[in-house]
Amino acid sequence: MGLFLLRVAAATTAFHFSGSALSLGQSSTAVIEGALALLLCAGLWTPIVGSMFAGVAVWVIFSRTGDPWALILLATVGVALAMLGPGAWSIDALLFGRRRMLL
């Protein structure tokens, strides 16, 4: 449940930033952020999407002016989701099964 909430919070934040990118006239970045947010929220290809999510957030940090701290947090959450995986409530878990790490 915790990973699901983390994915939804990151996707909601990404939708917020993609909406602000649309208002600034940067439609290509907004479309990419919106598509990644949808995939992340659903939990589809989470390690790949989390990495791309972090990359786009870092790109936006250096391409826009303003306060970068929310985007730095978003990039960190993207990296964390890429390393943690999708969780039990995701499309990845339905398609590929839940993997448990044994130490």
Residues 6+ apart with CB under 8 A from 44: 86, 90, 91, 92
Tell me: the pLDDT tens digits for 15-66? 887 776 666 666 777 788 888 888 888 888 888 999 998 998 898 888 877 7
Average pLDDT over residues 70-74: 87
- Note the pTM of the prediction, 2 decimals: 0.77
102: pLDDT strictly greater than 60? no
pLDDT of residue 55: 92
pLDDT at 103: 47
Q: Is 65 exposed, middle or buried (0-12, 13-18, 19+ CB in 10 A)?
A: exposed
